[in-house]
Amino acid sequence: MASGSEEWSAAQIDDYETLISTTDVELLKRAWRNEKAAPEILPFEEALVKRAKEQIQLMEETVDDFAESGHDPLIASLYQMDLDRAQFLLRSYLRVRLQKIEKFMFHIWKTDTYRNRLSTEEEKFTERCIRDIGKHLEETVLSKLADNYQSLLKQSVISEEDDMVPEPQLDTFVVAKCQKATRPLYLDGSRQSASFDRPFQEELMSGNISLV
């Protein structure tokens, strides 16, 4: 039986689990899962993506060095597995955001809250998509319709709202788990900050909870 000095205390175990759960790879995985589960586009994780790209570049150089110097193939393969995992998570995170942008581009572009959540590259992509799709529809369909039905955003000129623009369904169900101790959450949103639209949104943005 191991002595008390050789065993980890509960506090040490908690510290270790916290360290593992907050590495950039784990944070990137969490960001990807949050983005997949959330109905609307979330704020772009700029600092995290920048660090992930730098780490991937370093890992690629390390794998190349190992291959050239004749190190143990097993060690090289382990580094390659870590590299593949990081690349997969980064690509998946960026891809799911692009899918949301393609689906809700007009709504995102006209809503400052969502537009401000885009990266510089995503904003350029959204603007280009809207311009190209608008031009294509104008040349192939809208120009051939009656004047009252040539709007890209409305069914007709009598429509008061942009009823042709898809919007994310914010009342959809999500499953969340707490990452740290948080205040009581109320499903009716009666005690949430006025700057957030839904229960859990404020806690999600602050990193207190994550979606699964």
Q: Buried b vs exposed e over 115-144: b needs ≥16 C-beta within 10 Å?
A: bebbeeebbebbeebbeeeeeeeeeeeeee
Q: What is the pLDDT along the chain (212 residues), one digit of tens a residue?
A: 444 333 445 554 455 444 444 588 889 999 999 999 999 999 999 999 999 998 888 888 888 887 788 777 887 788 888 889 999 999 999 999 999 999 999 999 999 999 999 999 999 999 999 999 999 988 898 888 888 888 888 888 787 788 788 899 988 888 888 887 777 776 665 555 555 666 678 888 888 889 98
Contacts of 133 (CB under 8 A, 6+ apart): 105
Token pair, residue 202, equals: 């404020």
- CA dist 4 and 122 (Å) reads 54
With tokens 């957030």, the residue in question is 196
Residue 128 sits at φ, ψ, to 5 deg, of -65, -40
Q: Which domains does the chain have, with CATH numbers?
A: 22-165 (1.20.58.1030), 169-211 (no CATH)
Residue 186 amino acid letter: Y
